[in-house]
Structure 1
Amino acid sequence: MLTTLKNYPATVNLLLSASLILTLARAITLPYLVIYLSGSFSLSVADIGLVIGSTLIIGSLLSLYGGFLVDRVSSYRLILALTAVFALGFLGTFVARDIWLFYGCLILINLAYAVIDIAVKSGFGSLLPVTERGEVFSIKYTLTNIGYAVGPFLGAGMAKLDISLPFLLSAGLGAGFFFIYFVWGDRGLNAADETRKTVPFLAVGKLLLQDYRLVCFTLGGLLSAVVFGQFTAYLSQYLVVTTTPESTYQIISTVVATNALMVIGLQYSIGRKISHKHLNLWLAAGLSMFMLGLAGFALSTSILLWVISMAIFTLGEIIVFPAEYMFIDKIAPDNLRGMYYGAQNLANLGAALGPVLCGVVLATQRPHYIFYMLVLFIVAGGLFYFLGASSLRAEPDKDSV
């Protein structure tokens, strides 16, 4: 991977560093949001879930317009402006003493992060040939997971001094990347074409709804994200109901470590092999791994079985994420990449929905029924994936506006 990074243009490496640094900043505070909201604002568990889930949903929905801006505004200026919003959002959470100000800052953080992610992926499409994009998406996902693996440890160290300090550290990382990108960023990256006819946002949105492939793949991603978007949340819910708090903590810590180590160790080597060819087969393999992993979770009675099940589940994650990116990259017109990747971000709605649905099932049915439900979501998501992928043979790769 290091050899590949050395061969990339400086602009590509700077975009990859955005994924690493900003994800690290986000991961520093995520594990402590529940504790912070409870201690600083005296919120109940239900209210905390509402705050965290709704800010993610609002940020994801607004990022669709952010994708529109990626296609219309210079990516350099957009990334710079949103990095400033990202840093100021974390600074706001550090100083906020009112829950609504804190809530607004969380929305800004999620929105800025989502749109920067869209701009980064769109930048890859304009800077690299088709044959190299699967590899760069895998590197990006590897770096993202490194950020999520390291961030909580940095946050833990800061939280021991003061529970609010992780927010200040995250703000500092955002400000640091702002300076780096201001000095070394490519000012010509995805610069707007002034000769191109401007199309209103709603008109572009209508055009996207007419793309059968995009609609199918967005629905497939949303349904599948219920399963893999926040798996630690619903596994924690399941374990709290079926085991002791001590066992829950031990198992969750172990499976999270297993997931992080496998993604960091295998994502690049496996993901680089995924190309536009045989996407159906790759998706079938990835979704099958998810289903086998879920079956393993349902049957696990020891930490070893939990680790094996998580390893299988993680293989699905390693395959499906790059395959999703490659599909969108294949069908997205050059002048609408931002909007297409913005539509893909709507899968976050499924991630936010997962813990809610699992909570309802756990409250009303036998605990292991959640795995039946999650398998159904994988089957439904896979159906939409394959409907979208199979249509590639009948429809042109690129549309135009």
Structure 2
Amino acid sequence: MLATIRTYPRTVNLLLSATLMLTMAKAITFPYLVIYLSSRFGLDITQVGLVIGSSLIVGSLLSVYGGFLVDRINSYRLLLGLSMVFVVGFIGTVLAGNIWAFYGCLILINLAHAVIDIAVKAGFASLLPEDARSEVFSIKYTLTNIGYAVGPAAGAIVAKLDISLPFMLSALLGMGFFLLYWRWGDRTLTTIDATQKPVSFIAVGRVLLRDYRLVCFTLGGVLSAVVFGQFTAWLSQYLVTTTTAQYTYTVISAVLTTNAVGVIALQYVIGRRISHRYLSQWLVAGLGMFMLGLIGFALSTSVLWWVLAMAVFTVGEIIVFPAEYMFIDRIAPDHLRGMYYGAQNLSNLGAALGPVLCGMVLASLPAHTMFYMLGAFIVGGGVFYFIGASLKANHPA
């Protein structure tokens, strides 16, 4: 992977650094949000879940307009502006005197991170040939997981000194990227097509809705993200309901380690082999691994079985993430890439719904019913993926 990174243009590597640094910045603080919100603002667990989940949903919805801006604004200025919003959001969480100010800052952080992610993917499409993109998407996802693996450990170290310090450390990382890109970023980088006449956001939205491949793939992404978007949340819910708190902690620690090691070790090896030519087959394989992983979870009776099931589930994650990126990359017109990637971000809605739906099932039905529901979401997502992949292009050029 490092050998491949060295062959990329400097701007590509700077965009990859955005993924690593800003993901790590989020990972440093977000594990401590529950503690911070309950201790500083006196929220109960339901209110904490509502604040965190709804801020993610609002940020994801607003990022669709952010994708529109990616197609309209010079990438250099946009990335610098968004990284500064990211920094201000984290500083604001420390200074916020009430929950509404804190909530607004969370939305700013989620929005800035989501739109930067869109700009990074659109930048890859501008800078690299089509046959090199699956590899860079795999590297990007590997760096994302490294950020999520390293971030919480760094946050734990500084949180022992003061619970506010992780937020300041995140702000410093955001500022680090700002300075890095301000100094060495390509000021001419743009995803704007100068030959295209300016079109309003509403008009572009109509174009996207008429591209049934995008609609089907977005729906497939929302449904499947219910399963893999926040799997640690519903696994914890299930284990707390069916076992003890101590056993839950043991299993969750083991599966998180398995997932992080698996993704970091295998993402680049597998992801670089995913090509446009066999996307449908790759997606079937990835969703099949999710299903096998769910069956493994449902039947697990020991920590070892939970780890083995997580290993299978992780392979599905490794396949599906870059395959989704590659499909959107294939169908997106050059002048609308930002909007297409923004629509793909709506899968975060499914990720936010997962813990809510699983909590409702666990509260009212036998616990194992949760796995039937999650399996149905995988099948539903697969159906929409298959329909989307089989449709012909129908969007205006």
TM value normalised by structure 1: 0.98
Paired position in structure 2 for 1:32: 32
CA-to-aligned-CA distance 1:4-29 (integer Å, 9 cap, x gap):
00000000000000000000000000
Q: Is the 8 A contact 1:28 1:155 kept in 2?
A: yes
Match of 1:96 in 2: 96
1:240 aligned partner, one-letter code: V
User: Aligned partners of 1:2 and 1:213: how far apart in 2?
Assistant: 35
Letter in 1 for 2:39: G
* CA deviation string 1:149-186 (max 9, x = no partner): 00000000011001111000000110111111111111
Kindly state the Cα deviation for residue 95 of structure 1 after the two structures are TM-superposed. 1.5
% identical equivalent positions:
71
The answer to whether the 8 Å contact 2:227/2:374 transfers is yes
Deviations 1:29-64 (A, max 9, x none): 011000110100000110000000000000000000
Contact 2:71 2:336 in 1 (8 A): yes
Equivalent residue number for residue 333 of structure 2: 333
Q: Which runs of 5+ in 1 are unaligned?
A: none
1:305 is aligned to 305
Query: How many angstroms apart in 1 are the aligned matches of 2:130 and 2:180?
Result: 28
Please list the CA deviations of residues 313-348 of structure 1 after superposition, one character each: whole Å capped at 9, or x if unmatched.
000000000000000000000000000000000000
Counterpart CA distance in 2 for 1:195 and 1:259 is: 45
CA distance in 1, matches of 2:195, 2:387: 36
| Aligned partners of 1:332 and 1:399 also within 8 Å | no
AA aligned opposite 2:21: I
1:80 Cα shift?
A: 0.4
> Aligned-pair distance for 1:96?
1.4
1:192 is displaced (CA, Å) by 3.8
Q: Normalization by structure 2: what TM-score?
A: 0.99
Aligned residues between the structures: 397
Distance in 1 separating the partners of 2:278 and 2:26: 34
Q: Which runs of 4+ in 1 moved over 2 A?
A: 191-196
Which secondary structure does the structure 1 equivalent of 2:276 belong to? coil
Counterpart-to-counterpart distance in 2, 1:352 and 1:384: 20
Whether the 8 Å CA contact 2:18–2:177 is kept in 1: the answer is: yes
Q: Which whole-Å CA distance do the structure 1 matches of 2:111 and 2:256 have between them?
A: 26
Aligned counterparts, 1:174-213, within 5 A: 174-190=174-190, 192-194=192-194, 196-213=196-213
CA displacement 1:165-210 (0-9 Å, x = unmatched) = 1000000110111111111111111164555311000000000000
Q: Residue 242 of structure 2 aligns with which residue?
A: 242
Give the Cα separation in 2 of the matches to 1:179 and 1:395. 41
The amino acid of 1:59's aligned partner reads G
For 1:248, what is the secondary structure of its paired residue?
helix
AA in 2 matched with 1:8: Y
Tell me what 2:72 maps to. 72
**Match in the other structure for 2:393:** 395
State yes or no: 1:281 paired with 2:265. no
Q: 1-side partners of 2:239 and 2:97: how far apart?
A: 34
Amino acid at match of 1:78: L
CA contact (8 A) 1:19 1:117 kept: yes
Q: Per-residue deviation at 1:97?
A: 2.3
Structure 1 Cα separation of the partners of residues 322 and 58 of structure 2: 25
Q: Secondary structure at the match of 2:187?
A: coil
Q: Counterpart of 1:62?
A: 62
Contact 2:191–2:334 (CA<8 Å) still a contact in 1?
Answer: no
